Structure 1
Amino acid sequence: MEEKVQNSFLFFLLVIFLTVFTASSDSFPSLIWPESEPLEFDPESSNTLTLPLHHVDVLFFNKTSEELFYLMLQRDAARVKAFTSKAAGEESNKTQLRFPRSRKGFRSPIISGFPHGTGAYYTRIGIGTPPRYVNLFLDTGSDVIWLQCKPCKICYNQTDEIFDPEKSTSFDEISCNSSLCQLQDQPGCNQKNQCQYQVTYGDGSGTSGDLSTETLTVGKTRLQRITFGCGHDNEGDFGGTAGLMGIGGGSLSFLGQVGTRFNKKFSYCLVDRSHSQKPSSIIFGDSAIPRTARFTPLLKNPNPRLNGFYYVELLGISVDGIPVRGISPSLFRFDQYGNGGVIIDSGTTVTQLIKPAYLAFRNAFRVAAAHLKRGPETESFDTCYDLSGLREAKVPTVVLHFRDVDVSLPAKNVLATLKTNKTGPSCFAFAQWGGPFSIIGNIQQQGIRIAYDLAGSRVGFAPRECV
């Protein structure tokens, strides 16, 4: 079983070489919203703060393409193991932190980690007083904030200076008898009565240290007494970032701590993976929800330990306007143990479908794309096309049918070119895996603003360029 999961996730490996194949505008019409309609935000956007964006090529200036290839393998293997491990038995957080209500919002930059093999996105925030700025992974599938701290027992290489709590006037430790300490799945304690945390990933990497509170700075917004893991023992390769900012549904995630303050609303629009210098943002607050968004309900997993993920109801998929036979809502329903469902996730690179759904979808796409010249398959891709020499290609349209909303994917989110050399085959950018649920990955989300209204238990889609 483990070998099967690892083989299926080889699909991820070549994603670091993906570049967008430029298709004509006729190849990817929106079936729901005209492309010319402007993206409109709530009028209270005057309360939204914007940070300048920073490209992250510098994080990997010393890595070769081959090294990035294997780093991607390690990260993706760790991610699927972590997901399946959580499904198998981790306890979830049960208590919700409370903050004063405010109608103000803020926004923070997101930079694509795609050119560097991370399959994830970065945001830059300030930590401490005065603030020291660091890059953190942004992850809807995680329920914790952590970063490397001095003194290091073990620390991996990161681009920014490692955070030193002694240089911050707002840093505070959490005692073992604190209610914050008890929010952890497995709270720990050292001889000094300091609360300890530990996060372990599927590949053996992880972080441990002191559970603490600190002031975070996002733009000009300062958020006080945010609980985070101050890691003194950190092992693995995290792409040169300082750590991770989880925005999942758990109590200790960033959203779990500040969600009420910002009316439990946020949205992001992920930058095009091949044009990562293009600006993008994550927005928290009422202004995060665009008026053009169309919504589908968020679902609750019957297994409470899995409710940190964001589940949506996928009813079906169509190719060139024809529903794919063999894909029905019953394929994705929860069983009594919480297996099943569809997660929308910012940290997974490629949409992963359970086997029967993937095979039906792939076969329908092959029929619709019969006019395209087939290319050689690769170790990780079973459906590829030779589009060399073509200025334009008519790529079959793909629509994901969620409850109450249909999302039409741009051609670049469906078919992508493997840049293993100067040119390469263009391959079907989906995969099958043997896990208990399906995952909507970030390649399929790019260029679409994903709006989370947690107060209304819904997630919306506004298919626009990132703004």
Structure 2
Amino acid sequence: MAWPCVCASLTSVMLGLVVLSLASQSCYGLGTFGFDIHHRFSDPVKGILGIDDVPEKGTPEYYAVMSHRDRIFRGRRLAAGHHTPLTFAAGNETLRINSLGFLHFANVSVGSPPLWFLVALDTGSDLFWIPCNCTSCVTGLRTLSGKTIKFNIYDPDKSSTSQKVSCNNSSFCKQRQCPSSGSSCRYQVDYLSNGTSSSGLLVQDVLHLITDDDQTKEADTRITFGCGQVQTGVFLSGAAPNGLFGLGMDNISVPSILAKEGLISNSFSMCFGSDGSGRITFGDTGGPNQGKTPFNIRTLHPTYNITITQIIVGDSVADLEFHAIFDSGTSFTYINDPAYTLLGEKFNSLVKANRHSSQSPDSNIPFEYCYDISPNQTIEVPFLNLTMKGGDDYYVMKPIILVDSEKEGNLLCLGIQKSNSVNIIGQNFMTGYKIVFDRDNMNLGWKESNCYDDVLSNTSPVPSHSPAVSPALAVDPVATSNPSINPPNRSFRIKPTLTFMMVVFPLLAIF
């Protein structure tokens, strides 16, 4: 029997971050929650997990595995006062993990006594779920060097604060028929890709949080999440092996629950540092000097969908309107035609480098617009800007990716891929920014950031009671923005500094 989906939007999850800090408990103060994030391929994550036998950053294998997981997860069911900041009990720092994908992950603590779970952070999904008394799930990883990493498996009966959600719970349970009045609520999330899904029971338990400015103050809260008994598809081969942390708009997502409880403003931010580090902060609404654009809201399965009105490459401006989803669960940026070809061909006409010849059928390089480079060569590439609805400019800090290949040579590639479905702004185009998902005002905000020097600035007070209307039911906001800024007529000058080498991609054993 297949139960109706509690959360149906698919996410491209690539194991990517691990939170490095701990501690939290209770004190329901209003505010924000935040923690640092690092990419799964970063040296800190490799050090924590003891994983050295991973794809070398910049190799075709490195980008091929990220692109592969993106493709796996891109199939989505789409439809349309000042307060104390808060963070996870693990503290402010999270890390990316090399051989499990490309995206941001965090180590979250749930239950009493607390158990830790390495979960993928995903704005393209709603439900937070973790492996739980599972008959089909990943219980750990084993590297080629023989190191074993065991994951925690949640058991509601072993947590003194756990409570199963009743099938009659109208707030969270979407099960169509209840066998009896006291039966538990079952869920199934279908990710519509290679039979990928998670199913089990909905439960409530304590999520351990602490204040972000003083990490000795505990701020635990009860949340509803999925006790994932059966995982299928790519979840069994390393995609989100220890759980998925839904950051979407639906009322079952963690930010929605925290806002409904009156703990935070109905907003959060994610910062994507150029060095692979980052932060996520619940309740952060950004500042008055950030760029912003309204969300395109649909009542059924709402997503962080925005409208792009112009593509600017170098000094060339093209008026072309299309919609795209800002998705932290996707490594790269995926664009449909005609925008994909327009952007790619304009970039190709302006870049000062020789285009790489047609790739062989067995090539691991997932990008179409690639250029041959040498280690000591300086290359000019055009500046890339996306003008958002409302007029604010979104300058892409890192439009290019360096690839080193013993087989195909050393390459510089435009970090976009052609989409045949939805347009997605992935993490590579978010690098260098703090992205604000403001669900109170129904807009996306962004501001250049290194993720270390930000001062949290809530621009609106948290209401004493949670909003009565779910974001999924909100009407489209009126577009407001800062005055348009003319893009600079400039280009990047790239001098490759990679140590060019080829390594064999080592797979982690899943058990």
TM value normalised by structure 1: 0.74
For 2:412 and 2:358, the matched residues in 1 are separated by: 10
Quote the Cα distance in structure 2 between the aligned partners of 1:50 and 1:450.
13
Deviations 1:267-300 (A, max 9, x none): 111233xx43x4x2101124x5145422112222
The aligned counterpart of 1:105 is 85
**CA-to-aligned-CA distance 1:62-84 (integer Å, 9 cap, x gap):** 87549977764663233122x1x
Partner of 2:281: 283
Are residues 1:316 and 2:310 paired? yes
Match of 2:439 among 454, 461, 465: 454
CA distance in 2, matches of 1:395, 1:71: 26
Contact 1:107 1:283 in 2 (8 A): yes
Cα drift, residue 449 of structure 1: 0.5
The secondary structure found in structure 2 opposite 1:358 is helix
Rate the CA distance shift 1:60–1:319 in 2: closer, same or farther, 3 A: farther
8 A Cα contact 2:296 2:304, kept in partner: yes
What are the ranges of 5 or more consecutive residues in structure 1 without an aligned counterpart?
1-11, 17-45, 89-100, 333-340
The CA deviation at 1:362 is 0.7
Q: Which residue of 2 aligns with 1:217?
A: 208
Q: Is the 8 A contact 1:107 1:281 kept in 2?
A: no
Classify 1:319/1:400 alpha carbon distance in 2 versus 1 (closer, same or farther; 3 Å).
Answer: same
Give the partner amino acid of 2:355. Answer: R
Q: 2:105 is paired with a residue of what secondary structure? A: strand
Change (3 A) 1:296 1:418: same
Residue 377 of structure 1 contacts residue 384 of structure 1 at CA under 8 Å; is this kept in 2?
Answer: no
Equivalent residue, structure 1, for 2:300: 305
Which whole-Å CA distance do the structure 2 matches of 1:71 and 1:428 have between them? 17
Structure 1 residue 443: deviation in Å?
0.6
Q: Is the 8 A contact 1:110 1:121 kept in 2?
A: no
* Aligned counterparts of 1:212 and 1:239: Cα–Cα separation in 2: 23
Residues 416-425 or 159-168, more deviating: 416-425
**What does residue 124 of structure 2 align with?**
141
Counterpart code for 1:136: V
Verify the 8 A CA contact 2:255 2:282 in the aligned structure 1: no
Alignment counterpart, residue 56 of structure 1, candidates 40, 45, 48: 45
**What SS does the corresponding residue of 2:437 show, helix, strand or coil?**
strand
Q: Which residue of 2 aligns with 1:268?
A: 270
Asked if the contact 1:111/1:271 (under 8 Å) is kept, the reply is no
Q: 1:53 to 1:395 in 2, by over 3 A?
A: closer
**Take 2:99 and 2:51, find their aligned partners in 1: how far apart are those partners?**
9
Q: Secondary structure at the match of 2:381?
A: coil
Structure 1 residues 421 and 48: CA distance shift in structure 2, 3 A:
farther
Shift in Å, 1:323: 0.5
- Provide TM-score, normalisation by structure 2: 0.68
Q: Distance in 1 between matches of 2:139 and 2:358?
A: 36
Distance 1:366 1:69, change over 3 A: closer
Greater share of helix residues, 1 or 2? 1
Q: Given that residues 209 and 230 in structure 1 are in contact (C-alpha distance below 8 angstroms), is that contact kept between their aligned partners in structure 2?
A: yes
Q: Which residue of 1 aligns with 2:334?
A: 352
**Which residue, out of 162, 168, 171, partners 1:171?**
162
% identical equivalent positions:
26
String of CA shifts for 1:225-250, please: whole Å, max 9, x gaps.
31100112223234464201111101
SS in 2 for 1:203: coil
| Aligned-partner Cα distance in 2 for 1:214–1:227 | 7
In the alignment, the residues of structure 1 paired with residue 36 and residue 79 of structure 2 have an alpha-carbon distance, to the nearest angstrom, of 38
Q: What residue ranges of structure 2 are gaps of 5+ in the alignment?
A: 1-11, 16-29, 39-43, 141-149, 211-216, 453-511
State which of 205, 223, 226 in structure 2 corresponds to 1:226: 223
**What's the counterpart of residue 409 of structure 1?**
396
Q: Distance in 2 between matches of 1:147 and 1:134?
A: 7
**Alignment of 1:198 onto 2:188:** yes
Q: Within 2, Cα distance between the matches of 1:123 and 1:199?
A: 21
Q: Sort the Cα spacing of 1:60 and 1:188 in 2 relative to 1 into closer, same or farther, 3 A.
A: farther
Q: Which amino acid aligns with 1:450?
A: I
Task: Look up the SS of the partner of 1:75 in the other structure.
Answer: helix
Partners in 2 of 1:102 and 1:117 — Cα distance?
A: 38
Q: Structure 2 counterpart of 1:430, which letter?
A: I
The one-letter code of the counterpart of 2:86 is: F
Pick one of 375, 378, 385 that aligns with 2:356.
375
The aligned runs of 1:236-255 (5 Å cut-off) are 236-239=236-239, 241-255=241-255
Conserved? CA contact 1:265–1:451, under 8 Å: yes
Contact 1:197/1:211, CA 8 A, preserved across alignment = yes
Cα shift at 1:440: 0.8
Report the CA distance shift for 1:224/1:112 in structure 2 as closer, same or farther (over 3 A): closer
Change (3 A) 1:406 1:251: same
Aligned equivalent of 2:466: none
Q: Whole-Å Cα distance in 2 between the matches of residues 217 and 177 of structure 1?
A: 27
SS of the equivalent of 1:259 reads helix
Question: What is the deviation of 1:254?
Answer: 0.9
SS in structure 2 of the partner of residue 258 of structure 1: helix
Flag the 1:351–1:53 CA change in 2: closer, same or farther, 3 A: closer
What RMSD over aligned residues (CA atoms) do the two structures have, in Å? 3.2
Q: Go from structure 1 to structure 2 and tell me whether the alpha carbon gap of 1:73 and 1:430 turns closer, same or farther (over 3 Å shift).
A: closer
Deviation at 1:392, TM superposition (A): 3.5
Q: In structure 1, how many angstroms separate the alpha carbons of the residues matched to 2:238 and 2:331? A: 15
* Pairs aligned (count): 385
Q: Please report how far the alpha carbon of residue 398 of structure 1 lies from its aligned counterpart in structure 2 after TM superposition.
A: 0.4
| Separation of aligned partners in 2, 1:79 and 1:298 | 22
CA 1:196–1:71 in 2, change beyond 3 Å: closer, same or farther?
A: farther
Q: Deviations over 1:370-394 (max 9, x none)?
A: x212223445322111221335332
